[in-house]
Amino acid sequence: MPATRRRRIRERLRELGVTVNVVEGAERSYLEVSGDDLPVRSLFPGHWEGVAEVIPLSPPYPHAAWGGGRGELARPTLVEVAGVPVGAGHFAVVAGPCALEEESRAIDIARAVKDGGARLFRGGAFKPRTSPYAFQGLEDEGLQMLRRVRESTGLPIVTEVMEGADLDKVAACADLLQVGSRSMHNYALLKRLSHLRTPVLLKRGLAATVEELLLAAEYLLSGGNTRVILCERGIRHAAGARQVILDLGAIPEIRRRTHLPVIVDPSHGSGAAYLVAPLARAAAAAGADGLMIEVHDDPERALSDGRQALRPAEFAALMEDVRAILGALGPDAPSPPSAPPPSPAIAAERREPAGKDR
């Protein structure tokens, strides 16, 4: 490289505030950059004349990365959702219907999944549907329902926020705010969520790489919200037999790259009830920190995603399998949620079956 060009590149790098060390190779010079290198990372080959390649030596998501980045975390992060631990050795199960429908149904499903071993209840009030003609969710009425599910069952609530304008009212009813796969790239929403302390469940975009998922998490972390749980929920693949493929390899990949917990959603990751249990078992075996499972008592009549919903009994059977798998993985596996005692309401029903002594 002509000396004048190299000098110009060095000067421009110094203007960006980094320290530059020149390493002479046989055919090329290498400019080793240290310091606050963020502005340099956005350079790309061809951007500056004479720069053939920019090789980052640490990941572009310093807060999400293990100790290699600027986030000095060497231990997995534990995210507490209203007292329920997720990650760092705690396996957490989120379950409930895709969308909220009738209140009594939501409460019954919540009690059933709690009985089966779920620690968090999910239910959508604002639904991102592919078709504008499909059920869009009960919106504000659904949010009120979530409050009552929490009051009746004690289960913390997971629900989706689709846009910034709804954030305050959704956050008031949620213990864990879900960012759906379609919103993973909504950086304006991520920036707003980054200023909250409410935990966020960040779902992988349908065509997002693991790196893009971690960069989306970086928006949340760098803005100050450290309570982030990632969710693998399947991706589009041109060669797939189905519309979506659950990317099981992403689990160890994500765990290798970040200290954040990762849970898996085999319901949206398959779109078919018969695939949910096998994929959930595989996800537990592959090192997931938890699962998110759609459950409905009458899938055929569900207003949304009934084809992929498990019935409560199927969910309970799956939880048995998951406990066995985690047990078989040995001491390094996350501790499974213990089979919970029946919730007070269910215990009362069991003691006094409907109609008895009346």
| Residue 39 and residue 16 in contact, taking contact as beta carbons nearer than 8 Å | yes
Does position 181 interact with ligand PEP (CB under 6 A)? The reply is yes
Closest by Cα among 295, 294, 303 to 268 = 294
Nearer to ligand PEP, 105 or 268 (CB): 268
Nearer to ligand PEP, 102 or 352 (CB): 102
Nearer to ligand PEP, 98 or 280 (CB): 98
For residue 305, the minimal CB distance to Mn ion (Å) is 4
CA angle 88, 90, 93 (to 5 degrees): 130
- In the bound state, the residue with its beta carbon closest to ligand PEP is 180
Give the chain's end-to-end CA distance (angstroms, integer).
94
The pair phi, psi for residue 191, each rounded to 5°, is -65, -40
| Residue 57 and residue 255 in contact, taking contact as beta carbons nearer than 8 Å | no
Question: How are beta strands 79-81 and 84-86 bridged, if at all?
Answer: antiparallel
Nearer to ligand PEP, 71 or 180 (CB): 180
According to CB under 5 A, which residues from 49 to 108 bind Mn ion?
98
Does position 233 interact with ligand PEP (CB under 6 A)? The reply is yes
Max Cα separation, the chain? 97
CA-to-CA distance for 45 and 203, rounded, in angstroms? Answer: 31
Does position 120 interact with ligand PEP (CB under 6 A)? The reply is no
Does position 98 interact with ligand PEP (CB under 6 A)? The reply is yes
Nearer to ligand PEP, 37 or 305 (CB): 305
| Of 108, 175, 232, 305, the one binding Mn ion by CB under 5 A | 305
Q: Which of the ranges 12-20, 47-55, 180-188, 252-260 carries the binding residues for ligand PEP, by CB under 6 A?
A: 180-188
For residue 306, the minimal CB distance to ligand PEP (Å) is 13
Nearer to ligand PEP, 71 or 96 (CB): 96
Dihedral sign of CA atoms 61, 63, 65, 71 in order: positive
For residue 308, the minimal CB distance to Mn ion (Å) is 7
For residue 98, the minimal CB distance to ligand PEP (Å) is 5
For residue 38, the minimal CB distance to ligand PEP (Å) is 30
233 binds, among ligand PEP, Mn ion, none (CB under 5 to 8 A by kind): ligand PEP
Question: Which of the 8 DSSP states describes residue 288?
Answer: -
| Residue 93 and residue 336 in contact, taking contact as beta carbons nearer than 8 Å | no
For residue 72, the minimal CB distance to ligand PEP (Å) is 31
CA-to-CA distance for 325 and 319, rounded, in angstroms? Answer: 10
181 binds, among ligand PEP, Mn ion, none (CB under 5 to 8 A by kind): ligand PEP
Nearer to Mn ion, 159 or 225 (CB): 159
**306, amino acid identity:** G
For residue 224, the minimal CB distance to ligand PEP (Å) is 24
CA-to-CA distance for 202 and 215, rounded, in angstroms? Answer: 11
- In the bound state, the residue with its beta carbon closest to Mn ion is 98
| Residue 120 and residue 156 in contact, taking contact as beta carbons nearer than 8 Å | yes
Q: Which of the ranges 55-63, 89-97, 189-197, 299-307 carries the binding residues for Mn ion, by CB under 5 A?
A: 299-307
| Of 180, 199, 290, 334, the one binding ligand PEP by CB under 6 A | 180
Question: How are beta strands 29-34 and 19-24 bridged, if at all?
Answer: antiparallel
Burial (Cβ within 10 Å: 0-12, 13-18, ≥19) of residue 148: middle
**Could you please report the per-residue DSSP string of 78-130?**
PEEETTEEEBTTB-EEEEE-SB---HHHHHHHHHHHHHHT-SEEE-BSS---S
Does position 203 interact with ligand PEP (CB under 6 A)? The reply is yes
| Of 85, 124, 156, 336, the one binding ligand PEP by CB under 6 A | 124
Q: Which residues bind Mn ion (CB under 5 A)?
A: 98, 305
Q: What residues make contact with ligand PEP under the rule CB under 6 A? A: 98, 124, 128, 180-182, 203, 233, 268
